[in-house]
Structure 1
């Protein structure tokens, strides 16, 4: 194990790290200062950041890492006894694939070296090469399958498919697919060897898988609790909607058709080309749900929770009207000798909405 962080009551957390095919956990243990894993629910790939004390000359010479190498990190906890976790092992590279070292920085006085890795496809063309192409007589899923196949990525598609008569692409595959999916309230997440497309609203409808409390309940000594002073809450009305109106032109009948959902209180108005009235409604509902997501947000820090992940739902208890069900937008796991193992959560409240 490396970077063991002792906690009260004998709790221990540690990081294991493999560099390419070599386990370097023990070798860098004396110099390792911090480890951070950032798990996001959409758009970006997961990332890791590892900082070492680089005072020794070896870090400026033979031990200086090479950009592009692969890192395989894991977190281990022992006698943790928090949130139902006693002892366990979380292999992030097994979930995300290898983390490619793409950012390396050095700072002096005191000397430190920070390695930044991201779980993204080996073929950088996915997010860097611009393409001009017209997709015809296809669907969102078929387009995702084609793009995934282009980079030898396994596609995991969890959502309703939507037919596409014609769609112009003028940009990278990454940006184009992200924009297309957003049109139908689908989000994407990219790993080293996997492309995940999913319906965020369906994930928000799932049951909460854990609960976090403002203070530890009587009789529940292992409950997950918010770290004092870390809790933040915000809610907004501007930019959110109770309904919408989509106007499009039926070229055959030469008339404008209006599709309406929800109420008129705060109405989102859209226009554009669609394939049918059903398509207009799907696009309108998607745009409203995208806008409304994150209307109420919270963030907080708690004792490390290795089972926690983005796209999970959880219950918040002890904050009065702020209590309720939340969706994890981002989870950041950090381990350091000074602060131990902590998990920071950023989440959006799951609101009841019906725009059918």
Structure 2
């Protein structure tokens, strides 16, 4: 029989059976970058167990998994939500309920909060990320073009996470912390991966849909202007993608860079950053463990909006059934 259930481990102990009679809703939100994944569990608490003897401690480790049985064409399939730390607990009523909110493990450590001052010379972005990850006992997941090394990297009253985010943004890379990893990847490379499924209008998988396209602040090209210290002159580089917008203004960026290679990387990154939301979609789906942030899906049957979309955010909810809500953007192709 078609069924979706929650497997949950609390501080290393499987409490799936114990929690099942009290579970009202569970929501797992997964982000492609920039935000910490989160988990929210609402429990019935008429007997006062969850606000009494079973009251969880803040900071406790929780691991969650959505397990689907006989799930249509997917068969038996599951979605590992990851490991979280309990961050917020609310008891309310009537009726009496307890809501646990947890954030992705490792998001509240020194990598985010401790401000530092230091300098690196002749170092690549990957080397920088590897060193910072190792300092915090994390591993590095890196999928991106190496790029030219930086002549100098300066950290001034800035956290390690903020520093990495700044340099990732300038190279058009996405950054995320999850599962005791620093995850750093190039959006363009992930947009080129094959779609994990096709969502077709009328096939019963899509419950509601909304598409939006805009022209405001969409640019045809990007020009980076910088001062070449060796030549003692201003230099500029313009990036115009072959498959970009046919009309529009040129975005001009005045920012200090060290070389023409940095200017090229920055021009591509800045253009992608401003244009990536040109076509967006929000879909509410019959629960689907394949719809995960960072992956691609094909959308068909919606006319001009058809195409391949990158999943920016997915929200998986268990309660009166299993539902997935997704925020997507059409891939740029450059």
TM-score of the pair, normalised by structure 1: 0.88
* 1:240 alignment counterpart: 218
Structure 2 Cα separation of the partners of residues 281 and 89 of structure 1: 42
Instruction: Give 3-state SS (helix, strand or coil) of 2:239's partner.
Output: strand
Partners of 2:111 and 2:284 lie apart in 1 by 34
Match of 1:225 among 205, 220, 231: 205
Q: Partner of 1:191 in structure 2?
A: 178
* 1:184 Cα offset (Å): 0.2
Residue 202 of structure 2 is matched in structure 1 by: 215
Partner of 2:322: 341
So what's the TM-score if we normalise by structure 2? 0.93
In structure 2, the CA distance between the partners of 1:265 and 1:123, relative to structure 1 (3 Å rule), is closer
Q: What is the CA-CA distance between 1:347 and the residue it aligns to? A: 0.3
Shift of 1:329: 0.4
Larger CA deviation: 307-316 vs 139-148: 307-316
Q: Which residue of 1 aligns with 2:98?
A: 113
Question: Are residue 54 (structure 1) and residue 23 (structure 2) matched?
Answer: no
2:265 matched to 1:282?
A: yes
SS in 2 for 1:92: strand
What SS class does the counterpart of residue 102 from structure 1 fall into?
strand
* Aligned counterpart for 1:92 among listed residues 81, 102, 110: 81
Q: Work out whether 1:77 is the aligned partner of 2:68.
A: yes
**Distance in 2 (alpha carbons) for counterparts of 1:328 and 1:88:** 20
1:176 and 2:163 correspond: yes
- Please show how residues 106-185 of structure 1 align to structure 2 within 5 Å: 106-121=91-106, 124-162=109-147, 163-170=149-156, 171-185=158-172
User: Which range is displaced more, 279-288 or 111-120?
Assistant: 111-120
CA displacement, residues 35-63 of structure 1 (integer Å, 9 cap, x when unaligned): 11111111122221111012212222111
Displacement of 1:252: 2.6
Residues 51 and 98 in structure 2, CA contact (< 8 A), matched pair in contact too: no
Alpha-carbon separation, structure 1, partners of 2:183 and 2:333: 25
Give the drift of 1:123.
6.4
**What corresponds to 2:235 in structure 1?**
257
Q: 1:295 Cα shift?
A: 1.4
SS of 1:231's equivalent in the other structure is strand
Q: Is the 8 A contact 1:122 1:192 kept in 2?
A: no
* Pair 1:349–1:123, CA change in 2 (3 A): closer
8 A Cα contact 1:72 1:99, kept in partner: yes
Partner of residue 104 from structure 1, selected from 89, 105, 121: 89
Q: CA deviation at 1:213?
A: 1.4
> What residue in structure 2 maps to residue 350 of structure 1?
331
1:241-300 Cα shifts (integer Å, max 9, x gaps): 110111111223221112122188411111122111121111111111111112111001
**Partner residue in 2 for 1:315:** 298
Distance verdict in 2 for CA 1:209–1:60, change over 3 Å: closer
Cα distance between partner residues in 2 of 1:135 and 1:191: 26
Deviation at 1:122, TM superposition (A): 7.0
Structure 1: 4+ residue segments shifted above 3 A: none
Corresponding residue SS for 2:21: coil
Find the residue that maps to 1:59 and give its secondary structure: coil
Is 1:28 matched with 2:19? yes
1:186 positional shift: 0.6
TM superposition shift of 1:108 = 2.0
CA offset at residue 19 of structure 1?
A: 0.9
Q: Is the 8 A contact 1:297 1:346 kept in 2?
A: yes
